[in-house]
Amino acid sequence: RLSDKALDGLPPGPSGWPWIGNLSILASPHRHQKMFDAGQRFGGILTINLGAVKQVWVTSHKYFQQALVDRVWEFAGRPHGFWVTDATTKLFPGILASGVDKTSRNVRRFTATALRSFGFGRTSLQNVILQESEDLHQEFRKHQGVPFNPRDQLAHAAANIIAFITLGRTFRQGDEGLQFVNETLTSGVKQVINSQRDKMFPFLRYVPMKSRKVFQESFKTGKSFLENIIREHIATHEVGQPRDFIDMWLDERQKGDSAEDDFALERLANVLVDIFSGGYETSTTTLQWLFAVLLHNPDIQEKIHEEIKSAIGDGIQIRLDHQEHLPYTHAVILETLRKYPPAPFAVPHLATEDTTLGPYRIPKGTRLMLHLYSIHHDPQLWERPEEFRPERFLTDDNKVKEPEYFVAFSGGRRTCIGEQLGRKELYLLFANIMRSFRVSLPPGADLPSLELMQGAVLYPRPFMIVLEER
């Protein structure tokens, strides 16, 4: 075994095995706890060795702040080959895999602003989400009193919110669009994991694998589905009259000399894939975790119902301007994102120049991973972090306060571009479910497992619930 020591001036890290290095940490079902323990042992920053790849992992808020905020651009790159860039998006990367060049920065800024400020005439972001909330309730009513797993209905709502904003349409069950979301993104996510594995063990790239082929096929189908929609938009778009994100993009192409290149149509399809990838599973799983939390803590559900009843009353649809009157409901969402951050490793970052972190030299090209989960479980920041306690987000006068070390959406130049949308969506969908339904465990069923299942996001194990209208 290799010993604990600094590698090429990088931070020290745990000892590992020849060839596989520290793979046993990341491959373990207890990877988050193991990484947390290693982070504590090495002072919040450590090097993890994975076959041919070395990664620097940040597990403390101090180094998170230094890397993403103080260093501004120095860690704002993305490793090459991440998010299957080679096979699919090399020439026109969307957002997730794009670098720090001028075009990427322009496109990222434009997309983030478009998502934040979405709304045309009476079609506000709020109305889009509330419409989906109504449809979700209709679906839930069909299952009333009968045990079911709500994942599909939640995922459908999350997909439709993004679809309406970006494509100007929603998907019905069995729709080609839903297939794109489910198949392309699910197999895409597997491919991301595979591409990381191929980086660790380069010889695997030459081993034919079924999942790679499945992904390439479904990515092609997904892209051509999006390209058809883009073509329809081009045919019907009126300059200065955007109906959705695609139209905003088409308008942006007309502005200035380099705009046509920056906002190339080839890039648009990839940006759309990234918006779906970033926003679909994250919101869906957070809502699933919220249900798991309610089943484990019936008193929390009671408190939410009480709060809604006394602050808003019965039978009134909950809107954004009610949020300040629902601090406890809001705090339950934040505490769920703290304990079960859907993207617990964020997205891999890359050092774009030679730099430093604390006492360590970090050469250009180093991969930097941010273990948000460790920051959210650091006992120096959070009192009894293992407990689920929404009150930690409330002040003495019952207002919501978020400490700067709440980092579910990451931070700095590559912070989540869908944060505002994600927050509004979680709040409006969750608060309105709570207004209308009581959630309980199917008779005789065990409580849902709170085991952390790591795929592309942090999933709970599947579980059933029973809903009753209130």
Strand-pair partners of 58 = 45, 370
Taking the complex as a whole, how short is the minimal distance between the CB of residue 276 and ligand HEM, in angstroms? 8
Distance of CA 348 to the CA centre of its chain: 13
As measured in angstroms, the least distance from the Cβ of 413 to ligand HEM is 7
Classify burial at 416, counting beta carbons within 10 Å of its beta carbon; exposed 0-12, middle 13-18, buried 19 or more: buried
Contact between 342 and 408 (Cβ < 8 Å):
yes
Nearer to ligand HEM, 14 or 341 (CB): 341
Please, which residue, 16 or 279, has the CB nearer to ligand HEM? 279
Smallest separation (angstroms) from ligand HEM to the CB of 341 = 6
Q: Is the distance from CB of 79 to CB of 86 less than 8 angstroms? A: no
For residue 270, the minimal CB distance to ligand HEM (Å) is 11
CA-closest candidate to residue 47, choices 411, 366, 379, 380? 366
Smallest gap, in angstroms, from Cβ of residue 236 to ligand HEM? 24
Write out the two tokens for 432: 């309105």
Contact 300, 294 (CB under 8 A): yes
Q: Which is nearer to ligand HEM, 418 or 448 (CB)?
A: 418
Nearer to ligand HEM, 290 or 295 (CB): 290
Whole-number minimum distance, CB 280 to ligand HEM, in Å?
A: 8
Instruction: State the nearest-atom distance from the C-beta of 301 to ligand HEM, in Å.
Output: 21
* Nearest CB to ligand HEM, comparing residues 248 and 408: 408
Closest distance to ligand HEM from the beta carbon of 48 (Å): 17
Q: How far is the CB of 349 from ligand HEM (least distance, A)?
A: 6
**Euclidean distance between CA atoms 415 and 165, whole angstroms:** 20
**CB nearer ligand HEM, residue 334 or residue 466:** 334
Q: Which amino acid is at 76?
A: A
Position with the least CB separation from ligand HEM: 418
Given the rule CB under 6 A, which residues bind ligand HEM? 95-96, 108, 115, 162, 274-275, 278-279, 282-283, 286, 337, 342-343, 346-347, 408-410, 414-418, 421-422, 426
Closer Cβ to ligand HEM, 38 or 337, answer by number: 337
Compute the half-sphere exposure of residue 298: CA atoms within 13 Å on the CB side of its CA: 4
Which amino acid is it at 201?
F
Q: Which residue's CB is nearer to ligand HEM, number 162 or number 357?
A: 162
Residue closer to ligand HEM, measured from CB, 96 or 439: 96
386 is an annotated ligand-binding site residue: no
CA distances (Å), origin 449, targets 9, 452, 453: 42, 9, 10
21-29 long-range contacts (CB < 8 A, ≥24 apart) are 21/48, 21/49, 21/50, 21/51, 22/48, 22/49, 22/50, 23/50, 23/51, 23/200, 26/50, 29/451
* Measured torsion, CA atoms of residues 205, 206, 209, 213, in degrees rounded to the nearest 10: 80
Q: Does residue 211 contact residue 191 with C-beta atoms inside 8 Å?
A: yes
- Residue 268 C-beta: closest distance to ligand HEM, Å: 14
Q: What would the DSSP string read from start to end of 227-286?
A: HHHHHHHHHH--TT---SHHHHHHHHTTSSSTHHHHT-HHHHHHHHHHHHHHHHHHHHHH
Nearest to 26 by CA among 63, 66, 5, 53: 53
Nearer to ligand HEM, 194 or 270 (CB): 270
324's tokens: 């300040």
Could you list the residues known to form a binding site for heme, using ranges. 416
Annotated binding site: 416
